[in-house]
Structure 1
């Protein structure tokens, strides 16, 4: 496939400007760039979701024009999005063939009505999964299946169209390390069978492990295409952000104050068991552990979203009762969810509404009438403090890049002026430039005297940003490491 001089316009935005890219046979070609660089727009053009406003795309030397995704599928191109596109209450088999079921005539004859040929679909599905080297129960509903297997079902669905080109958009975002290894094994196998892949990822280490070439986009423009073996991480970062990024973890030296938050013997039946720790003013306390260790469940318990069965939470030395998130906010505890699109933001609404809706009591009078001036003032303040890139506070959140959406999610929690901020996977799914900015914001919040509890599966982030780290395993606290004791080996030793 060759893409030459492609342009794409949206109202007020030149999303792609003269972008060119080529994909060779049997190649894994990585595409990277900051959030808003144009990666997803380009992939959606290839997949038939959008049409280019200018430029030329050819496939096997012939002009490539598609008007909708099914047409792209029929031409051998499939896209696997970061968010699952599977129907949770349908079976694996139904998900794989939905929209392109294999059919057979009910009766012999040219005009016979058609019926679904379940035997042929099962045979083809089993052949695809054999090709992927895994076994999946075709009659199982997708809702009951883990994230890693869902990813393989997405790939199987794409291969059921006999796809020659796969577009993988952040395929490892929700996978654990072992699951990533299994996915890479599948990618290498498909590559050996002649399948070409476009691989979008913010995780630069993955690009160096799995890709043959890499193309960098910035602000909707092509910056560079290079063989992975001929470049390095620093060069990629420089191309992506337009400058060298010397300090990804800008942790400031802060004088740690008194204890303001304590969790004592927090337990949640079947999930958490007797967990105790504290956090001080100016301190960033990390919560680390493998998938399923109880990290997020602990956060939800501390902020009242899933109240614990037993245990005590103290603020400034006094025990407090927290049975709901509203009560947590009233006590000065705010939570930034790991899933900003589902739990963190109201995507179809404006920046102003998203930033201020947790702080609704601060902007309403005795008659529950919103003070529009105060609402605008708070929104403008946090847009400035967190450097949120948007034309104004009336901009709709779902039009923002992932990094800016994450900043809005943080701003929403800061608007209630908490003493304790719990951030769950604060930089998941954002580019390296936005990651550095979010780390700066977290560091500045700690410096201002807030206690930060940071949950992350990114060990370099934990080591680079935290003063102490609590390590969990199967819902239990396995130990605690000070900043000078932290390294990946020590954390993993405790977590495994």
Structure 2
């Protein structure tokens, strides 16, 4: 891709961007949300046409008027949100719209045999061509998407945030799949906010900022800190704001206490959450982390044990008691995507008012007040009337945080607060969290990213099999956390 430029409604989103990828190469594309990564990839995939520039495949210029044209040229894109039909089988999804036909009818035997061969080539044995997609895990669905790309004879595969919704052990499966694609001579363009993956998988990395090319460089010739500086203009060490030493170790009053808490998933939970601290919660997928968050918030309440000062039996009771929850999936559970930023920011306060619990502002914030709130969470740009669905992932997450700040909860539970968020937006969210803790809020943060968990937490509890496997002081090593999570040590 040479000199690619693109504007939407007069706004320039790409300016003279160039990118090269070789057969059998994994080439990472990084940058903040809004840097132009997705637009560049959609141009390659035929979703958008460039205003300027040339695309060449094997040295020959190509022009795509439709994604089907790109597919025929050997380009496939696997989006963060998969394009699969959950009620159809694996083979039906792999060959959707391209079903083999015999004597005027779909040749299901041939379709299933070809799918089985593709799965075997990818080393996948845990499911077969006839299994329904809705029964598959996220990682298995990703395998289906890759098999679909291979069935189209793809030679260039774009992977957009492929590990955003994967558990730790599923990431290892993705690594193996990427290695197989590389061995087959396929060029993989890998978009990710996770720097570890960039350095683990990619031979080269291209950095975009504000729609322009910053650099393309071999990953062996750049450090993670240098890469962050290229993307956002700040050092990796500036990610995590310093802890408040006066509160470190949980010196504030106990805001929430659980003794012997349990339900269908959790058992024997003993936990204190104190004012002014950030309590990190670690654990493998399925360890009970999200179930703990939902129990504290009354969505899947404790059925045994004690929780004080209140054991909410419903979400409404939790909100009335001053407990907030930022859910793991902001799009499905945290936002009304087709409503404005302003309406989303007032969702909780309006609900509180209807319930007669009298939130801090009673749901009557004016346009100017909402703008001030959005500026406080560093929403860029703070347009209250814009629909939330058009915001970047980082800005969407800031709207979720703003929604809770309207009622000033005393306890905030954050489940994967920076999932799918770029490095610059992460730093802004970390600053906001540290500021809220300094003002006395008690924060529980669940995260699968150990560097952020270690960098932000005043204490860390580790979950395993629905129980708390141990508690660690500030700054534990990743190895210590993982050994607890896997049951190799006790604390």
So what's the TM-score if we normalise by structure 1?
0.92
- Residue 403 of structure 1 and its aligned partner are, at CA, apart by 1.0
Any idea what the Cα deviations from partners look like across 1:292-333, whole Å, max 9, x if unmatched?
Answer: 101001101110112222233213xxxx24122121111100
Q: CA RMSD in A?
A: 2.0
Distance in 2 between residues matched to 1:365 and 1:482, nearest whole Å: 40
State how far apart, in whole Å, the 2-side matches of 1:299 and 1:373 are: 29
Assess, with a 3 A threshold, how the Cα gap between structure 1 residues 375 and 95 changes in structure 2: closer, same or farther: farther
Q: Where does residue 262 of structure 1 map in the other structure?
A: 257
Q: Among residues 109, 124, 140, which one is paired with 2:114 in the alignment? A: 124
Q: How far, CA to CA, are the matches of 2:306 and 2:364 in structure 1?
A: 40
Contact 1:279 1:452 in 2 (8 A): yes
- Are residues 321 and 149 of structure 1, via their aligned partners in 2, closer, same or farther at CA, if it must alter by over 3 Å? same
Aligned to 2:454: 463
* 1:168 Cα offset (Å): 0.6
State the SS of the aligned residue for 1:273.
coil
Unpaired runs of 5+ in structure 1? 107-113
1:137 lines up with 2:128 in the alignment: yes
Q: C-alpha distance in 2, partners of 1:249/1:188?
A: 33
Does structure 1 residue 352 correspond to structure 2 residue 342? yes
Structure-2 residue corresponding to 1:39? 37
For the structure 1 residues 245 and 80, does the alpha-carbon distance in structure 2 shift closer, same or farther, using more than 3 Å as the test? same
Number of matched pairs: 478
Counterpart for residue 336 of structure 1: 326
Counterpart pick for 2:105 among 98, 115, 135: 115
The answer for the alignment partner of 2:489 in structure 1 is: none
Question: Partner residue of 2:138?
Answer: 147
- Residue 99 of structure 1 aligns to a residue whose secondary structure is coil
Which one of 482, 486, 495 corresponds to residue 485 of structure 2?
Answer: 495
Structure 2 residue aligned with 1:164: 155
Post-superposition Cα deviations, 1:323-373, rounded to whole Å, max 9, x if no partner, equal 22121111100000111111111112111011111111577899x9x9997
- Give me the whole-angstrom Cα distance separating, in 1, the residues matched to 2:199 and 2:337: 34
State the Cα deviation string for residues 177-210 of structure 1 (Å, max 9, x = none): 3322222122122212111110001111111111
Give, in whole Å, the separation in 2 of the partners of 1:377 and 1:312.
43
SS of equivalent residue, structure 1 residue 359:
helix
The answer to whether the 8 Å contact 1:43/1:167 transfers is yes
Separation in structure 1 between the aligned mates of residue 382 and residue 455 of structure 2, nearest angstrom:
33
Moved more, 289-298 or 376-385: 376-385
Distance in 2, matches of 1:242 and 1:342, equals 32
Q: After superposition, what is the alpha-carbon deviation per residue over 1:230-256, rounded to whole angstroms, capped at 9, x for unaligned?
A: 111111111101343432111331433
C-alpha distance 274-226 of structure 1, shift in aligned 2 (>3 A)? same
Distance 2:446 2:364 in 1: 35
Q: Structure 2: any 5+ residue segments left out of the alignment?
A: 487-491
What is the distance in 2 between the residues matched to 1:13 and 1:261? 48
| Pair 446,57 (structure 1): closer, same or farther in 2 beyond 3 Å | same
The answer to whether residue 230 in structure 2 is matched with residue 232 in structure 1 is no
Instruction: Give the equivalent residue in structure 2 for 1:221.
Output: 212
Instruction: Report matched runs for 1:141-220 at 5 Å.
Output: 141-220=132-211
